[in-house]
Amino acid sequence: MTEPSNSNYNSGPSQLEEGLGKPLRQKIWLFFMFSKEVPPIPLDDERKIHSMYRSNFLSRMMFWWITPLMKVGYERTITPDDLFKLDDTMEIEKLSEIFEGHLMKRITYYQNQHLTKKYQERNETSETSTVDRETDLEDFILPKGALFMALYHTFYFQFVKGIIQMSIQAAGTSLQPLLLKKLTEFVQMKASGFSAVIGKGIGYSFGTAVFIAFNEPY
């Protein structure tokens, strides 16, 4: 098979990598299936939002949501500007702000508990306390569980979703061999000439396929 000889193709470093500007198309075998125009580097306002959590179940399972980026990467060198923009739920600044908010709530909660204990030891209240707040908090130690609870509330949806998916996967892993056994027995009965309800065989096959699909990570 002869290699493509189109002058737009380049087997070495792209012009972008050499700092010369617009990148050249990479040498690809399926050049006849793509346009001769090199995909332009998108401007900042043209970049797409990360769509993994915005796509449907089938797209996430089959990784179709990343196809546009893979197509560009096949035609030319990927640059940082080609990558997806992160939405608010994925940006570190937003997540950090949410985490700090939950952590400050836990700190305030435990500090109030610490102060209440101090007041009770002196038979005082917050209004009649003879010791200022800063002095009472000098020996305050934040419980180790506060950090975990702040992380839990920050990533509550991800935690719950992960637990549900792991539970479904564990159930599928446990039940799949039983369904395969039933399906095998059904096929053996049909092959031996015994009467068997075809609906059961279809049900066993469908159930096995569903469990296999749910066992795949997505």
Average pLDDT per 10 consecutive residues for the chain, totaling 218 residues: 43 42 66 73 85 79 84 82 84 91 94 92 88 90 91 91 84 81 83 76 81 63
Residue 3 lies in a domain: no
Same domain, 13 and 60: yes
Q: What's the number of CA atoms in the CB half-sphere (13 Å) around residue 187?
A: 8
Supply the pLDDT for residue 49: 84
Count up the domains in the chain and report the number.
Answer: 3
Same domain, 41 and 63: yes
Q: In the block, which residue shows the tokens 């066993």?
A: 204
Supply the pLDDT for residue 216: 58
Residue 145 lies in a domain: yes
Q: In the block, which residue shows the tokens 């609870």?
A: 149
Q: Rounded to two decimals, what is the model's pTM?
A: 0.59
d(CA 2, CA 22): 27
Contacts of the segment 141-146: beta carbons below 8 A, 24+ positions apart: 142/106, 142/107, 142/110, 143/110, 146/103, 146/106, 146/107, 146/110
Same domain, 160 and 142: no
Contact 81, 42 (CB under 8 A): yes
Give first-to-last CA distance, the chain, whole Å: 38
By residue range, what is the domain housing residue 207? 156-215
